[in-house]
């Protein structure tokens, strides 16, 4: 019998030997019923520079070798926000799930995003031991720049390439660690609502613990009860326990659509934001490893325009504070705990997965093309023309804008995927997903009960909104904006260059992503439980 490197330790008790077959047998071989095995891991990916090494040691009580050059540019909001210290560690936290149908790995990063080309490097490092690897980013706005656009100025990348290598090693090490800790397991899941987790006193706070900070055209028709605000109140929880009588918790995964950005733009202390406190509370309750997975984050879903209190009676907590982040995170965890405890576990769920890679998406964003051309975006990522890598740069704009460089490749290549673990479906998208589209995906996945939207899964290519709601004014006026003369654009002043449209591949993104994803969802629907 072929041995996988992801093997449970040898246990000599004959009565449980059948259960252990799942952890010993290669996924290419037939497996008996009752074969779910799960391994858990976490790796510290906190960036440490020579200048901040003592701050790390003072905060966490142990030294850590430098893995990042000075300074650390914090991702989100603007340029030249340099880290000055630490509140909590940043992590790569993951699970390897092996069962009847295959072996899946999910690793969640406390990062703003991670490009697909880096994840492909990790796949090469891991090899064939994983059938489907999902690397997800929380989209924290209080961690290091791993994309490039938050450096010292708009024309200089904020990425340390050596740190990306460090993170790649950590993801691969996490998967190996999980493989060494495989245990016969059960899985249970629940979906609940976040209704009541904020006060609902602000005009754009509907009481779900998240606010839609950008109302797009047409949303008022789709969601009249909330004046056009569309949020996703679904809190999905997935828990793995050992199959022995004690049912020790191995991992608890929480999925919710809200930007980790409580601390906002003035903060210079590195932190995973409110997900840190969600995980801390869950681990206090259950033990094991808690994992945060961000869901439908666009359009600008986040906690900055909500009010919360400790108990619903006391005064509202100060926004943009660690106190707010702690209470908000703890309350999300309490909601998960209240719903999860009464659910039974299942020892033998079907494992299924499907992915499309690559998914070509026409790059219609001149801002992205500019930043690719000057090396701010990409970190080794390549554009494609007719499926062939194309790193060419030119000057396609007419005078006087013919001095603005543009990457000339036609497409970005990304990927989408779906997976099933018994009653739980995972919908893996590479974008900050409009919850309205997320609702469509949930509705389409009819074969499972609980649906996890894995936002920024295996890539980060910006916002995804319905093509019918896309405002192309910023892209039409891109050369004028890049040249610093937006007022000369014929569409001025009716130009919407908000982040939703400026940081968007283009109006063809949703048709490309949804067109690739929907057939995969139907494929998963047809798998037998």
- Classify 6 as helix, strand or coil: coil
Cα 100 off chain centre by:
26
Which helix (H) or strand (E) covers residue 292, if one does?
strand 289-294
CB 453, CB 255: distance < 8 Å: yes
The DSSP output letter for 508 is: T
List the beta strands (DSSP E) in 300-405.
301-302, 351-362, 383-385, 388-390, 393-394
DSSP 141: T
CB 152 within 8 A of CB 79: yes
Model pLDDT, residue 246? 75
User: Given phi > 0 = left and psi -120 to 50 = alpha, else beta, which region is 487?
Assistant: alpha
In 3D, which of 412, 396, 414, 415 has the Cα closest to residue 404? 396
Distance CA 85, CA 65 (A): 15
Query: What local confidence, expressed as pLDDT, does residue 78 receive?
Result: 94
Q: What is the 3-state secondary structure (H, E, C) of 413-448?
A: EEEEEEEEECCEEEEECCCEECHHHHHHHHHHCCCC
What's the CA gap between 162 and 108, in Å, rounded? Answer: 20
d(CA 194, CA 335): 7
3-state secondary structure (DSSP) of residue 457: strand
**Integer Cα distance of 503 and 488 in angstroms:** 22
Please tell me the distance from the alpha carbon of residue 226 to that of residue 218, in angstroms, as a whole number.
Answer: 13
Contact between 97 and 134 (Cβ < 8 Å): no
Query: What's the chain's length in residues?
Result: 529
For 295-423, where are the E strands, in sequence order?
301-302, 351-362, 383-385, 388-390, 393-394, 406-407, 411-421
Query: Residues 269-307, buried b or exposed e (16+ Cβ, 10 A)?
Result: bbbbbbbbbbbbbbeebbebbbbbbbbbbbbbbbbbbbb
pLDDT along the chain (529 residues), means of 10: 35 35 38 76 98 98 98 97 98 96 97 98 96 98 98 98 98 98 95 95 91 85 84 96 88 98 98 98 98 95 95 87 98 96 83 97 98 95 97 98 98 98 97 96 97 98 95 97 97 95 96 98 91
Name the nearest CA neighbour of 489 among 381, 401, 370, 377. Answer: 401
Residue located via tokens 């690793």: 107
């Amino acid at each position: 019998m072929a041995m996988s490197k992801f093997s449970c330790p040898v246990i000599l008790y004959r009565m449980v030997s059948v259960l252990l077959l799942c952890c010993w047998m290669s996924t290419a071989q037939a497996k008996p019923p009752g074969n779910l095995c799960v391994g858990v891991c976490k790796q510290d990916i906190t960036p440490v520079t020579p200048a901040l090494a003592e701050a790390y040691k003072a905060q966490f009580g142990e030294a850590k070798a430098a893995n990042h050059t000075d300074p650390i540019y914090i991702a989100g909001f603007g340029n030249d926000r340099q880290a000055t210290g630490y509140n909590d560690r940043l992590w790569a936290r993951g699970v390897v799930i092996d069962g009847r149908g295959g072996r899946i790995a999910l690793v969640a990063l406390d990062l703003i995003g991670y490009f697909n080309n880096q994840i492909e490097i990790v796949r090469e490092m891991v090899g064939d031991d994983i059938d489907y690897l999902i690397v997800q980013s929380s989209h924290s706005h209080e961690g290091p720049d791993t994309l490039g656009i938050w450096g010292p100025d708009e024309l200089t990348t904020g990425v340390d390439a050596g740190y990306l290598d460090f993170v790649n090693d950590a993801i691969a090490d996490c998967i190996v660690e999980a493989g060494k800790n495989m245990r016969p397991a059960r899985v249970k899941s629940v979906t609940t609502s976040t209704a009541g987790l904020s006060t609902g006193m602000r005009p754009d706070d509907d009481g779900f613990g998240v606010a839609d900070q950008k109302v797009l055209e047409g949303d008022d028709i789709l969601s009249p009860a909330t004046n056009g605000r569309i949020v996703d109140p679904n809190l999905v929880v997935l828990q793995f326990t050992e199959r022995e009588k004690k049912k020790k918790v191995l991992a608890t995964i929480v999925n919710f659509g809200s930007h980790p950005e409580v601390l906002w733009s003035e903060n210079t202390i590195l932190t995973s934001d409110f997900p840190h406190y969600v995980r801390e509370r869950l681990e206090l309750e259950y033990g094991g490893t808690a994992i945060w997975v961000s869901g439908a984050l666009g359009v600008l879903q986040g906690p900055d325009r909500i009010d919360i209190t400790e108990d619903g009676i006391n005064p509202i907590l100060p926004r943009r504070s660690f106190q707010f982040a702690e209470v908000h995170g703890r309350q999300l965890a309490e909601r998960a705990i209240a719903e999860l405890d009464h659910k039974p576990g299942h020892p033998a769920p079907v494992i299924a997965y499907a992915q499309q890679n690559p998914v070509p998406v026409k790059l219609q964003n001149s801002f992205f093309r500019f930043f690719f051309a000057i090396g701010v975006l990409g970190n080794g990522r390549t554009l494609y023309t007719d499926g062939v890598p194309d790193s060419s740069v030119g000057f396609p704009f007419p005078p006087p804008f013919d001095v603005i460089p543009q990457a000339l490749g036609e497409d970005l290549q990304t990927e989408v995927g779906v997976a099933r673990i018994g009653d739980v479906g995972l919908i893996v998208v590479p974008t900050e997903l409009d919850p309205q589209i997320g609702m469509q995906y949930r509705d389409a996945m009819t074969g499972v009960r609980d649906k996890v939207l894995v936002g920024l899964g295996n890539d980060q290519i910006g916002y995804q909104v319905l093509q019918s709601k896309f405002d192309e004014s910023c892209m039409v006026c891109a050369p004028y904006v890049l040249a610093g003369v937006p007022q000369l654009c014929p569409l001025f002043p009716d130009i919407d260059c908000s982040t939703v449209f400026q940081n968007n591949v283009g109006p063809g993104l949703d048709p490309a992503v949804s067109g690739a994803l929907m057939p995969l969802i139907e494929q998963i629907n047809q798998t037998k439980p």
